[in-house]
Structure 1
Amino acid sequence: MGISELQLPQSVTAHSLVDAKALSVKLAADVAERLRAAIAAKGQACLVLSGGRSPVPFLEKLATEVLDWSKVTVSLADERWVPVEHADSNAGLLARHLFQGAAAKARFVSLYQQAENLDAAAAKADQALAELPAIDVLVLGMGDDGHTASLFPNSPNLAEGLDLTSKRRCLPMLAPSVPHQRLSLTRSLLASAAFIALSVQGPGKLATLRAALEGNDLNEMPIRAFLHDPLSIYWCP
């Protein structure tokens, strides 16, 4: 069973790779190519990434790609509301696995903000994201429950998070598992990216993708909000 057997919309391109290493190499090459093209066209590029454990090989490969990292702005699709030193911090993940060597010259726009509560932190992140250039490349992941970024099924702010007309760039979101408190870019900002990649691995994620394609309730599986936009899916068993 592979991704070629799914009924994908015409706007979706699928890349089936043999394993996680091949996926990381292909995705890193494609992302770097688009960043180089953006730099050539307008003198800068903007990249928004997702955290978690599975992107580590991709991030390490991307760090070795030859491009003018000093002209690249990097941010995150979502973040746990924890300091960068915390083991669960996505900013910390990028510091360890991407911002090494030449890639350390990239400018980073952090979502994490110190504040008295999550709502205040999200408001601060929203202001910080006003400085984010137009997104050239967005790399999304997907959970087994069909969430992407930190747009979780049935989360209190999900309706606004999925609203394409929302003026908010970042919202406080609650995950069903620990740590509960998250900061997430909104669909209105995420969907503005010139190129969107979805990286998924394993038969479990393939089953989730199939279920997402078979329905249209965004609240049930928020990844559905992105499956009919121009999208490139990178999958391996």
Structure 2
Amino acid sequence: MEFHEYPDREMMMLRLAQRISSELGESLRANGRATLSVPGGTTPGPVFDTLSGVDMDWSQVCVVLNDERWVAEDNPRSNTRLLRERLLRAKAAPAKLIPLRADTPTPEEALDGLIEGLVPHLPISVLLLGMGEDMHTASLFPGADNLEAALAADAPPLMAMRAKAAGEPRITLTAPVLRAALRVHVLITGAAKRAAIERAAKLSPREAPIACVLDQAQVHWAE
């Protein structure tokens, strides 16, 4: 991994947004299209705020979450809701959202349709990931029910995932999709997560799921 340390979070969020917008621009110029995958949660919100004001051909950018909780979009825990509020607005409003949620009781019932919608937009041009202190990324949690299958080289692009730490059932991008991304960034803050990612670099993906991408990742950290 390539580690980037910043003097404060504000500068990190700004620089990371600039890096992502530059890489999306490169993909648009080279291919006429780009796919951006981003995490949920509140940490990347400032990156989204900056990106939403960047002038580019957002109509040719597809955006997909790394993972989603199986809750309705009006639920405060919905990652899709956060994405609409912070990224898919202003100049970025024309971007196409690739859904990771459907109106079914369980994620398993919707998997085939969601995979069908995702596959035409792979590989991911720019992948932004977060990481928990337990070293999970997306919804690849240590000890999750389908973790081993999701880490396998022949895993489907999306899988349902359940884990004690996850709360609700989840749907997640799997390791082969994450590893196939053309550019990979990991955003973390605080001393505990820095220690965790340094520990993850010495562990297997089964023990530390973030390890599945660290050999190709740019890690961005601020206290």
- Aligned partner of 1:233 in structure 2 is 219
Q: Distance in 2 between matches of 1:181 and 1:208?
A: 24
Q: Distance in 1 between matches of 2:202 and 2:32?
A: 41
Q: Distance in 2 between matches of 1:178 and 1:225?
A: 19
Say whether the 8 Å CA contact 2:123–2:177 is kept in structure 1: no
The reply to whether residue 158 of structure 1 matches residue 158 of structure 2 is no
The reply to whether residue 96 of structure 1 matches residue 85 of structure 2 is yes
SS at match of 2:82: helix
- Aligned partner of 2:61 in structure 1 is 72
- Aligned partner of 1:170 in structure 2 is 158
TM-score for both structures, normalised by structure 2: 0.95
Identity of aligned residues (%): 31
Alpha-carbon deviations, 1:68-102, whole Å to 9, x = none?
11111111110001121111111111100011111
Equivalent position amino acid for 1:177 in 2 = A
Q: Distance in 2 between matches of 1:129 and 1:27?
A: 25
Q: Distance in 2 between matches of 1:133 and 1:144?
A: 29
- Aligned partner of 1:5 in structure 2 is none
SS at match of 2:23: helix
Which residues of structure 2 form unaligned runs of 5+? none
The reply to whether residue 146 of structure 1 matches residue 142 of structure 2 is no
The reply to whether residue 204 of structure 1 matches residue 192 of structure 2 is yes
The reply to whether residue 222 of structure 1 matches residue 204 of structure 2 is no
SS at match of 1:75: strand
Say whether the 8 Å CA contact 2:49–2:86 is kept in structure 1: yes
SS at match of 1:200: strand
Range moving further from structure 2, 174-183 or 15-24: 174-183
Say whether the 8 Å CA contact 1:28–1:65 is kept in structure 2: no
TM-score for both structures, normalised by structure 1: 0.90
Q: How many residues align?
A: 223
How many angstroms does 1:122 deviate by? 2.9
- Aligned partner of 1:62 in structure 2 is 51
Equivalent position amino acid for 2:78 in 1 = S
How many angstroms does 1:178 deviate by? 5.5
SS at match of 2:180: coil
- Aligned partner of 1:123 in structure 2 is 112
Q: 2:101 aligns with which of 112, 116, 135?
A: 112
Q: Distance in 1 between matches of 2:91 and 2:50?
A: 12
Say whether the 8 Å CA contact 2:151–2:175 is kept in structure 1: yes
